[in-house]
């Protein structure tokens, strides 16, 4: 009887441990980037040649950060995906790197699955921002 209980408890522990190693979990409850920590940001777009805009007005920075924070994201543990379509680099109290590509976003080395329409929203916002567009070097 003791042996049966021990086997049962061991099985429960093993299966509950496996349940905790899911590769995808929803991560929509926390603010990823604090607007107050960003003094300016660069948005770099592809295809080649890459172009960039440096965003300096607080209200425009807020639009970009609010859009990034509002995107529904599902965290994935690791991604071997290379390349990007849009790269956003923030500067200020904290520096962040945000890369969008192919239904994924990498924020400060953490990967998330997103909807491709969200990448289109970032592109649209980029085009609407009234800043000088230059070559990215």
Express each pLDDT in 8-33 by its tens digit. 444 444 444 333 333 333 344 456 78
Q: Give 5's pLDDT tier (boundaries 50, 70, 90).
A: low
Question: Is there a contact between 117 and 65 (Cβ–Cβ < 8 Å)?
Answer: no
**Could you tell me which of 50, 42, 47 has the C-alpha nearest to residue 137?**
50
For residue 130, give the 3-state DSSP assignment. Answer: coil
Question: What's the CA gap between 8 and 20, in Å, rounded?
Answer: 19
Q: What is the pLDDT of residues 87-130, one digit of tens each?
A: 999 999 989 999 998 889 999 889 999 998 999 999 999 999 99
**Could you tell me which of 76, 95, 91, 82 has the C-alpha nearest to residue 46?**
82
Tokens of 30: 């926390």
**Domain ranges (residues) in the chain:** 25-135
C-alpha dihedral over 91, 125, 28, 59, to 10 degrees? 50
For residue 59, give the 3-state DSSP assignment. Answer: helix
CATH of domain 25-135: 2.60.40
pLDDT of residue 92: 92
Tokens of 70: 């509002």
pTM score, two decimals? 0.74
């Amino acid at each position: 009887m003791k042996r049966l209980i021990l086997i049962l408890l061991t099985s429960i522990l093993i299966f509950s441990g496996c349940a905790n190693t899911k590769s995808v979990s929803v991560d929509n409850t926390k603010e990823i980037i604090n607007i107050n920590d960003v003094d300016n940001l660069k948005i770099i777009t592809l295809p080649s040649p890459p172009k960039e805009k440096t965003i300096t007005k607080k209200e425009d920075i807020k639009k970009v950060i609010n859009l990034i924070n509002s995107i529904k994201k599902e965290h994935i543990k690791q991604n071997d995906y290379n390349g990007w379509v849009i790269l956003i680099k923030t500067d200020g109290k904290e520096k962040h790197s945000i890369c969008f590509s192919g239904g994924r976003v990498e924020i400060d080395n953490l990967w998330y699955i997103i909807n491709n329409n969200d990448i289109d929203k970032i592109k649209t916002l980029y085009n609407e921002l009234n800043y000088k567009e230059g070559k990215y070097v």
